[in-house]
Structure 1
Amino acid sequence: MGGFAPIILAIPYTLMVTVGAFLIGFIIAIPLMFMRGSKFVPFRLVAQGFIDIARGIPPIVWLFFIYFGLPGIGVLLDPLEAAIIGLGIISAGYLAEIFRGGLVAVHKGQFEASHALGLGGWTMFTKVIAPQALRAMLPGLATYFIGLVKDSSIASVIGVTEMVFAASTYARRSPEGILLFFIAAIVYMALSIPMGLAARGMEARMRKAGAR
């Protein structure tokens, strides 16, 4: 397998960073979304501040701060953990705005009709609002997740053995050189393109279901 082997073996780390960061971001983004739209000004300011900071600081700075900075206060993380947490914080900022955009896209008449029918808050959200908001969110969520697959390569700077790290490490002692990065690029495309197609297919099905 030559240079293929290190890159193939690194795929699970790329996926762990991507999925782990997305899940952390997803969990944090839900309360951020509600705080961002709250009428209580302090909640709104805290949420907006978190979102601005998470998105405004470059990913490499987040990773360096978490991996090299936190040990100074006694918090020791391995490279994989630091990468997942760092990219998870960034994801939270972006996902919160995607979620909020999805809710804003739901017509106000849907809320009014739900109240007129006497639906409770939870029933209204799960049966009426969330399905429509999800249709609006899906393109943004899919695009962000695919971007996160590629952005996971930044984890190589702190030693996570994802695909770019594997390619660069093996390239230093292999005559295959730049070919390894070409292989890594093909693998990234092989991961990203099916995800994009699946997301478009899911979006089309949801639109058809919503039109019935």
Structure 2
Amino acid sequence: MDYWIEPLRYIAFGTGMTVMLTFGAAIIGIVLAVPLLLMARSRFTALRGLYHAFVHIVRGVPTLVWLFIAFFGVTQIGIVLDPITSAMLTLGMIATANMAEIYRGGMQAIPAGQWEAAHALSLDRSATARDIIAPQLFRAVSPSVATQVIGLLKDSALVSTIGVADLVFRAGLMTQNYGNGLVMFAFAGLIYLALSLPVGALSRYVHARITRRYAVV
């Protein structure tokens, strides 16, 4: 039993890197998707076109390819990024595109009459957005946002390909040193599972709380 303690402990130390990349990218996506949503709903065709171009290009290229572009490709134009920065920028960009589409879908699920009713009650646009639209939007998108965070958690395993010492990278290294990849990677998989389950549970809790608190359509 003692034989496994050191390699499994070494793998477990990669949890911090995995969590940092996952939730750091999620925060980037949640924040930067807001201006993208405004672009998607703009009355200017050019802004809407830029939005759709960004989303389709980012989502249409595999995550692994974007990682290699961010780490290996940009060196051709004189930009040198360390592995962690490359990983964070890549996952953050992908999260931004996906979150923006989630927000856009949530806004489409809210009837336009909500704005008209608020205007009839003499509420300005900021108050309407804050007190009426935002709660409904948050309720509509919270399950999809949680799914996206879990997807980021799984995608973060790809950062091992550019040398980031996450769970997968450490499990691979311990497999080389100690053998028995089944145990090493199964242990890493259990950690991923342990990280993803609370995200889903928190999403269901928040969704239920918002549903009880706010009137929904």
TM range (shorter): over 0.9
Distance (whole Å) between structure 2 residues aligned to residue 26 and residue 73 of structure 1: 29
Contact 1:98 1:141 in 2 (8 A): yes
Are residue 113 (structure 1) and residue 117 (structure 2) matched?
Answer: yes
More displaced stretch, 92-101 vs 72-81: 72-81
Are residue 72 (structure 1) and residue 72 (structure 2) matched?
Answer: no
TM-score by length of 2: 0.94
Contact 1:7 1:166 in 2 (8 A): yes
TM-score by length of 1: 0.96
Q: Which runs of 4+ in 1 moved over 4 A?
A: none
What whole-Å deviation, never above 9, does each CA across 1:19-50 have from its counterpart, x for those lacking one? 12112222321111111122210000000000
Distance (whole Å) between structure 2 residues aligned to residue 157 and residue 40 of structure 1: 41
Contact 1:32 1:96 in 2 (8 A): yes
> Which residue identity lines up with residue 30 of structure 2 in the other structure?
F
Q: 1:168 aligns with which of 161, 169, 172?
A: 172
Aligned-residue CA RMSD in angstroms? Answer: 1.3
What whole-Å deviation, never above 9, does each CA across 1:80-113 have from its counterpart, x for those lacking one? 1100101111111111010111111112221111
Distance (whole Å) between structure 1 residues aligned to residue 187 and residue 198 of structure 2: 17
> Which residue identity lines up with residue 41 of structure 2 in the other structure?
G
2:104 is matched with which residue? 100
Q: 2:92 aligns with which of 84, 88, 92?
A: 88
Identical counterparts, % of pairs: 40
Distance (whole Å) between structure 1 residues aligned to residue 31 and residue 64 of structure 2: 22
- Deviation for aligned residue 1:175: 3.4
Q: 1:145 aligns with which of 146, 149, 152?
A: 149
For the residue of structure 2 that corresponds to 1:161, the secondary structure is coil
More displaced stretch, 153-162 vs 116-125: 116-125
Alignment length (residue pairs): 212
> Which residue identity lines up with residue 10 of structure 2 in the other structure?
P
- Deviation for aligned residue 1:121: 1.3
Q: 1:154 aligns with which of 121, 144, 158?
A: 158
Which structure 2 residue ranges, 5 or more long, are not aligned?
none
Instruction: Give the 5 Å matches for 1:158-197.
Output: 158-197=162-201
Which structure 1 residue ranges, 5 or more long, are not aligned?
none
- Deviation for aligned residue 1:211: 4.1
Contact 1:54 1:92 in 2 (8 A): no
2:209 is matched with which residue? 205
More displaced stretch, 1-10 vs 90-99: 1-10
For the residue of structure 1 that corresponds to 2:6, the secondary structure is coil
2:18 is matched with which residue? 14
Distance (whole Å) between structure 1 residues aligned to residue 66 and residue 32 of structure 2: 17
